[in-house]
Amino acid sequence: MDSLLISGLKIHARHGVLAEEKTLGQTFVIDAVLKADLTKACASDQLEDTVNYAAVVETLQRAMVAYDDNLVERAAQRLAEAVLAEHPLVAEVSITLKKPHAPIPALFDFVAVSITRRRRP
């Protein structure tokens, strides 16, 4: 299985438990690893034979702002579900959803959740 990577996609959204997070929102960072068989695309050199990462970015952007989830776990699940629903060549997707500005009184780069979901047979 081959991989396509999207790294560091920044999206402003309103996920979090605190009222301020729902009101003001914050920037989240998404890394996505898409598993697909890219054999046909490698031979044809045609966009329609691969996973269009620009279209996947649009999917991630739309899914990230569609709901205001309390937990990044749920938001990551929604992202994975959207990718699998809208991109039939993707057999598996791994999402790392980073929250660099989590309201925690400590110095850190980010907190994150990583999930992997596979297409059901």
Is residue 53 exposed (0-12), middle (13-18) or buried (19+ Cβ within 10 Å)?
A: middle
Q: One of 10, 35, 40, 99 is an active-site residue; which one? A: 99
CATH of 2-118, one of 1.10.630.10, 3.30.1130.10, 1.10.540.10, 3.30.310.50: 3.30.1130.10
Distance CA 1, CA 23 (A): 41
Q: What is the pLDDT of residues 12-71, one digit of tens each?
A: 999 999 988 999 999 999 999 999 999 999 999 999 999 999 999 999 999 999 999 999
**Ranges of each domain in the chain:** 2-118
pTM of the shown model = 0.94
22 is catalytic: no
Stated length of the chain: 121
